Structure 1
Amino acid sequence: MSSSEGKVYGKREVTKYADGEQKTFSDTVAVEVPITIKVNGEEFVTVVCSPAYIEDMVVGYLASEGVIDSFRMVQSIRYDQTNGYVHVSLSRELSQLHQLLQGKRYITSCCGMSRQGFIFASDSKTTKTMKSRNVHLTDQECFKLMNELQSEAHVFKQTGGVHNAALATKDGIVLMRMDIGRHNALDKLYGYCLRNGISLTDKVMLFSGRLSSEILLKVAKIGCEIVLSKSAPTDRALMIAEELEITAVGFIRAQSMNVYTCSERIYQKS
């Protein structure tokens, strides 16, 4: 299957052992590729990701890391799919990026190492405290949104190897992306919105995976008041959610869910 620029899953012959029997069949697996971002001609970071919506991901990543303040700073962006490079030209002088470029690092899709562990300065610069209470959801709207996310997770159903994230209003999903890297899926949403001038002030973040600290930080950088997940949160994620006044909801399954922080944004439908 292809999505935007590249093939996001393919076929692989496998041998399966189950119930005392052996059989060979063609299985569907998620595709991952390394993408190196070059900023003003210099290598900045290599990201391992699903090969779809690459330019959106790069814009979202640069914004969340504090490299750009808005999409207006991007003079040009070009994805060289053959060689795995994204060339970004910014209006900032290279000298202004020196410290960031010196911190060049390699990021994998692995869930065991949070990106927060690599850099903290940009987190404090780019996270937003959600003082407003513009978004409210009923319990039934939360269940409906999570069901919609899962029903639209077509690549996950094929491979079982990707994360899904979506921006939604109480009426339904507005934009959805997937990636082998959970942080990449959120960057693809963020980058698309920045490139297309889509407001994030009234949006809810839906997420298929665990609510870790890196995910809460990413949600705070994007600027969503509420994040909904079908999985569990970590204690550090909830500490961040409390500090930044984000409503974190986890374990949304069937007609059950846990509201962990800022519960005033969620209410029960009478």
Structure 2
Amino acid sequence: MTVVDDTVAREFALTVSINGEQYATIVCTPTSLKELVIGFLASEGIIGNQADIQSLTIDDYKGFAYVELNFKIEVSERTERWIGSCCGKSREFYLKQDVKVAKTIMSKTKINPNQIVNLMQEFDNKANVFSQTGGVHQAGLATSANIETTFIDIGRHNALDKLFGYILLNKLPARDFCILFSGRISSEVVLKVSKIGAGILLAKSAPTDLALKLADDLQITAVGFIRNNSLNVYTHGYRILNNGIEKNTQVRGGDL
């Protein structure tokens, strides 16, 4: 028998306080917490951009993020909730907030299959924490040629919120980018991409039927099963260019 040390994913509870009142506790990976909090608040529809925040202080020892906004909100009317990291049941579906923040994407950004394959290979190469632990999701922001940044978290929604926060902090036009994702395309992921404002979602795994209905309605190009030299285009294939398809690349899709 061989005994070796194993690397495990870190799990951390971060309580977000808004204007002095506790709003939510997020179970997350304790990295890029500033991006996480800003992306979370934007996803919740509480802020529209970074300028709405007067101050943000993170006490990672106590596990608190203290947010002061430039306006008042009725936190007491919202139920404080515990947002866990468990996939599939990680968040409740808040229809009112989703309708408020989710938007139809009019992005004209396009990409070809060879670029998609290359981006996913680069994305995989950056997945060091996943390789070590097998316990995190990864989300990335990319142009058709290069990956801008990646974030990891034990919660898939948190990884995307960190990406959202990064976009807001750096005042990037989300419509000009693609989003790379390590997991399956769920309805939750599609809604998050819609809130971020990107038109192309590239994922390693399969979609769900509700996710594809939402992607179709929100005009998001959903591409899944990007593995080796194969990919499936599920919705709004007009953003996938017919050029750049190498002989050994398999592309499946009904509306290309």
Tell me the TM-score range normalised by the shorter chain: over 0.9
Q: 1:152 aligns with which of 122, 126, 129?
A: 126
Question: In structure 2, what residue type is equivalent to 1:33?
Answer: F
Counterpart in 2 of 1:215?
189
Question: In structure 2, what residue type is equivalent to 1:122?
Answer: Q
Counterpart in 1 of 2:84?
108
Question: In structure 1, what residue type is equivalent to 2:39?
Answer: G
Provide the secondary structure at the position in 1 that maps to 2:174: coil
Quote the Cα distance in structure 2 between the aligned partners of 1:45 and 1:177: 21
Quote the Cα distance in structure 1 between the aligned partners of 2:58 and 2:101: 25
Q: Cα offset for 1:198?
A: 1.9
Q: Cα offset for 1:94?
A: 3.8
Is this contact kept in 2: 1:114–1:214, CA < 8 A? no
Report the identity percentage.
47
1:56 aligns with 2:38: no
Quote the Cα distance in structure 2 between the aligned partners of 1:154 and 1:85: 27
Counterpart in 2 of 1:86?
65
Q: Cα offset for 1:78?
A: 0.4
TM-score scaled by length of structure 2: 0.92
1:30 aligns with 2:4: no
Offset from partner CA, 1:219-265 (integer Å, 9 cap, x none): 00000100000101111100100000000000001111110000111
Unaligned runs of 5+ in 2: 246-256
Quote the Cα distance in structure 2 between the aligned partners of 1:148 and 1:173: 8
Q: Cα offset for 1:93?
A: 1.3
Q: Cα offset for 1:25?
A: 1.9
Question: In structure 2, what residue type is equivalent to 1:125?
Answer: K
Q: Cα offset for 1:70?
A: 1.6
Provide the secondary structure at the position in 1 that maps to 2:149: strand
Q: Cα offset for 1:98?
A: 4.1
Correspondence 1:107-126 to 2 at 5 A: 107-115=83-91, 117-126=92-101
TM-score scaled by length of structure 1: 0.87
Q: 2:112 aligns with which of 125, 128, 138?
A: 138
Provide the secondary structure at the position in 2 that maps to 1:258: strand
Counterpart in 2 of 1:3?
none
Is this contact kept in 1: 2:84–2:90, CA < 8 A? no
Counterpart in 2 of 1:174?
148
Number of residues of Structure 1 aligned to a counterpart in Structure 2: 244
Question: What root-mean-square deviation, in Å, do the aligned CA atoms of Structure 1 and Structure 2 show?
Answer: 1.2
Provide the secondary structure at the position in 2 that maps to 1:165: strand
Counterpart in 1 of 2:20?
41
Quote the Cα distance in structure 1 between the aligned partners of 2:160 and 2:226: 19
Offset from partner CA, 1:141-167 (integer Å, 9 cap, x none): 110111110011111111111111100
Unaligned runs of 5+ in 1: 1-21
Correspondence 1:183-262 to 2 at 5 A: 183-262=157-236
Quote the Cα distance in structure 2 between the aligned partners of 1:161 and 1:94: 36
Quote the Cα distance in structure 2 between the aligned partners of 1:192 and 1:151: 21
Q: Cα offset for 1:127?
A: 0.8
Q: Cα offset for 1:91?
A: 1.3
Which structure has greater strand proportion?
1
In the TM superposition, structure 1's runs of 4+ consecutive aligned residues that sit over 6 Å from their partners are none
Quote the Cα distance in structure 1 between the aligned partners of 2:200 and 2:2: 46
